[in-house]
Chain A
């Protein structure tokens, strides 16, 4: 990590609205930050909280989900499902101590290229202000703690079995 830190944001955009809007933003030559990298999926209803957690766990600093406006879903109600799951996920993030601003859900229709530009720029700046999330780094720390804990337990176990060899034999 010699270079200056840049926020890494993974986006899940639905095929019918937000992905198309992102294309429109490009065609309209609207400039925005290159930090958001888009994964296209058919429907925002597909976005499983686990996708988001996986992205964060692998090193993303933020996750953006884009779907069609309520009432406009190509699959009738997929965006409502996305919203429901998103609310649940926000509570989970709170519990994990991850700032809510790192995960954002936006309704962006195929005609709203400017909204893509605005949301991406806003989010990049927000995440930049929050700083790196570095979950993989935290995982390493947690792993080390867990290893230390496991080693201590193993040591204590070993001590105990030395002290009570007779009891074990009885059970066998």
Chain B
């Protein structure tokens, strides 16, 4: 495990970017390049207007060949933008791409110190000096190749899960769906006619289900529950339990997959007892309860408790857009500040259906805002208005008060801001609470996979714009409402994206991961196991018994490159400096500190 020693004397090429003035208007780049040229090991030090442009990159490629450079440093923007660009350029020049260091003198230089050109220039010199010192100790690294099990596990067989599995299978990648319910389809089969196409949810679920059943590359394991997940990208070992009658545990089994798509969906918000009258009277019901009940009633007249229903009210934002101090917190102490996105269009859709199916029933709509933002959703608002639905608007910090009157009807009081704050009071036979979405209770899964969640408790992606369906765990993708409230269109779109990302990963017989993992110098390792205790990823470091020359046995730490996340926590606790991180080694940090603090001072003294 000893690093390959690079005995060659460093010949470093340093390139300072003007960024078309973004850097050079503040930082004296010419002076920076000249100063750095004085450093030991620096063969050339140049300035260019746009290093990331083709001519800029070609300059690196040519210099490596002509000047036989063996290390490169570029000082430009943040490494998040162009580190990879220049690694690739270095590789095109014939060098190992990891013999490169990227120095940020724009975001953390010129842009932050615009009024202090002298300070910005001095800082740039020191940051580049640190990069130069670091790159002297850089080692050639190879991306790690791991074997790949070319099939995916889809957790959850709702609309998103089925869609993801279908997309994978159609690309020739086998998928296994595990769902806790015997029948796939999730929530959509409970929803009746769906906006914006008026298709029936049950029919849609059945269609997806028959497509899944017809697909030879999809295996459905349901009802079942995942009990343990271990392993890493390309190699996840999954233990599960088939569930018997009434959810009783049954037979246990295992499977291995290369990627996992989490499509565990949502649960409708469950109002607390007494929240807007819920559970105090059967005349207050949640949206799913209303859809199930109304859906089972014949068209024409609507009755509840033997009494004709003349008026139905819909209350928006129940369990969503809550305000701290106004709404009662959830069991975990937080309020749901997010918008659930689907409730507005659902209310409008249901309001229209009530008016169509039960023309004698009048409909009231109580909202903060109406967010009918999707294609075709606004049509429901227009139709609801045309069909005589009466709209009332309350302020979020003044939620309506709900009580039961002497006749047993529901009475709602609020300030209506469509009439400039007039107090209104309405009685109705049924009040429907348009409940939002909350994450499914998947705490055990979150622990097993070490997934990140947002403040709203939904699963979190790596980057909302640039990597929207990837979790922070390599090889684990997010599909549908496990990630956030979404409409069905959005959930299926995200499922397709997750499947595409998983398919790209599973298309090859091996997976490649960054080489920044821990390594152990066996000669120095005393087998104290502190690194194992410190590591958050079970199995990433293990103790292995080795024979000594004398025939005795000693324990040594060994790193599993697939499981190591490269955080470096183990390095910080090793008493003998036996464990280190490739690409971010102790020596590299040490030399960076030297570059920042002393090397530049030595240069200044020259």
Contacts and interface: CB of A to CB of B under 8 A. Distances in A.
B104 A23 contact: yes
B472 interface: yes
Given A38-B108, A41-B589, A81 B534 contact: yes
Interface residues of A, number: 41
B504 interface: no
B584 A23 contact: no
Given A26-B112, A34-B116, A37-B127, A43 B597 contact: no
Nearest to B566: A42
A26 B108 contact: yes
Interface string A12-54: 0000000010110111011111110111111101111001001
A46 B586 CA distance: 10
Given A27-B107, A34-B123, A37-B123, A43 B115 contact: no
Contacts, number: 124
Given A26-B106, A46-B568, A46-B572, A32 B112 contact: yes
A3 to B, nearest CB: 9
26 contacts: A23-B80, A23-B107, A26-B78, A27-B107, A30-B112, A31-B113, A31-B115, A34-B112, A37-B126, A37-B130, A40-B79, A41-B568, A46-B567, A46-B569, A46-B584, A54-B590, A58-B594, A58-B598, A60-B593, A74-B567, A75-B536, A75-B565, A77-B536, A78-B567, A81-B569, A136-B598
A8 B80 CA distance: 26
Interface of B: 78-80, 104, 106-109, 111-116, 119-120, 122-123, 126-127, 130, 450, 452, 472, 516, 534, 536, 565-569, 571-573, 581, 584, 589-590, 592-594, 596-598, 601
Provide the main secondary structure of the chain B interface.
helix
B589 A34 contact: no
Contacts of A43: 567-569
Given A27-B111, A34-B119, A51 B589 contact: yes
Contacts of B593: 10, 39, 51, 54-55, 58, 60
B537 to A, nearest CB: 8
Contacts of B590: 54
A85 B195 CA distance: 55
Contact of B567 (A30, A32, A45): A45
A21 B123 CA distance: 18
Nearest to B112: A26
A124 B8 CA distance: 40
B112 A8 contact: no
A158 to B, nearest CB: 38
**B108, B109, B122: which has the most chain A beta carbons within 10 Å?**
B108
A59 interface: yes
Contacts of A45: 567-569, 572
A76 interface: yes
A47 B572 contact: yes
A74 B565 CA distance: 10
A24 to B, nearest CB: 8
Contacts of B534: 81
The 6 closest A-B pairs by CB, nearest first: A46-B568, A26-B107, A34-B119, A75-B567, A26-B111, A48-B572
B572 A39 contact: no
B380 to A, nearest CB: 35
Given A41-B568, A81-B534, A85-B572, A10 B120 contact: no
Interface in A129-152: 136
B598 A39 contact: no
